C-alpha cells in the first residue's frame, strides 16, 4: 500500500551529507511505490515559537512565515522523515525550531503514523545521535497515533560529499523501500 512520505531536510549547507542520506531514503521509498516529497529548510523564513498557544485555537501558528506551509505538509503525510546534521551531539537548531513550530498539529487529526530520523556527524561513535533521537522521540510521544520507527546514522562524515560510499546510504535506501 502506497504511503505519502514527507522528508524534511534541515541542513542549511548546500549538497550536505544529510541531504544525500535523505535522497537515498527518498529513492528507496519511491522504488517501494510510495509518493515522496522532499522539503528543505534552506532559504526558508522560520521564526521561533513564542509559546503563545494561539495555534491550539487557530489550527495554525500566528506567525506568518514558511513554517505554516511545512506544518501542513507534515499534517497531510503518513510518514515523516527528519534529516539533520548532528551539532554538538544534538539535532540541528533549525530542526528543533521547525518541530516547535509544528505545535499546531497537536490538537488536530494529523495523518502521520510513522516518524524516522536520518542523521550525520563528524564523530562516529554509536552514541553520537542519542540526544537527537531522544529529542525526536519526545516530539513523537506527544502524538499518540504516531510511532518512532527508526533511524539511520552516518558517522565519520563532515566535508561535503564525504558520505559517498558510506553503508548508511544503503541502509537509508532499504528503510525507505521497506516502509
Domain count, the chain: 1
Whether the Cβ atoms of residue 125 and residue 155 lie closer than 8 Å to each other: yes
Report the pLDDT value the prediction gives residue 166, as an integer from 0 to 100: 97
The DSSP call for residue 90 is: B
Whether the Cβ atoms of residue 78 and residue 114 lie closer than 8 Å to each other: yes
Query: Phi/psi at 69 (nearest 5 deg)?
Result: -65, -40
Torsion of CA 136, 139, 142, 146, to 10 degrees: -50
Backbone angle region of 149, left / alpha / beta, with phi > 0 → left and psi within -120 to 50 → alpha: alpha
The model's pLDDT over 36-91, given as tens digits with 9 standing for 90+, comes to: 999 999 999 999 999 999 999 999 999 999 999 999 999 999 999 999 999 999 99
Cell numbers placing 170: 544503503
Model-level pTM? 0.97
What is the extent of the structural domain holding 151?
4-177
Please report, for the domain that includes residue 8, its CATH number: 3.40.50.360
What mean pLDDT is reported for the chain? 97
Amino acid at each position: 500500500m502506497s504511503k505519502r512520505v514527507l522528508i524534511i531536510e534541515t541542513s542549511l549547507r548546500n549538497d550536505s551529507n544529510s541531504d544525500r542520506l535523505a535522497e537515498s531514503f527518498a529513492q528507496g521509498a519511491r522504488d517501494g511505490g510510495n509518493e515522496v516529497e522532499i522539503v528543505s529548510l534552506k532559504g526558508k523564513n522560520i521564526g521561533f515559537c513564542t509559546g503563545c498557544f494561539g495555534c491550539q485555537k487557530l489550527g495554525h501558528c500566528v506567525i506568518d512565515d514558511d513554517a505554516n506551509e511545512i506544518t501542513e505538509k507534515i499534517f497531510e503525510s503518513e510518514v515523516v522523515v527528519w534529516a539533520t546534521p548532528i551539532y554538538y551531539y544534538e539535532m540541528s537548531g533549525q530542526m528543533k525550531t521547525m518541530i516547535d513550530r509544528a505545535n499546531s498539529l497537536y490538537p488536530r487529526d494529523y495523518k502521520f503514523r510513522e516518524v524516522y530520523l536520518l542523521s550525520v556527524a563528524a564523530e562516529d561513535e554509536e552514541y553520537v545521535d542519542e540526544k537527537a533521537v531522544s529529542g525526536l522521540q519526545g516530539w513523537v510521544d506527544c502524538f499518540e497515533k504516531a510511532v518512532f520507527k527508526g533511524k539511520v546514522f552516518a558517522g565519520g562524515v563532515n566535508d561535503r560529499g564525504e558520505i559517498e560510499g558510506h553503508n548508511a546510504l544503503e541502509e537509508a535506501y532499504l528503510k525507505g523501500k521497506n516502509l
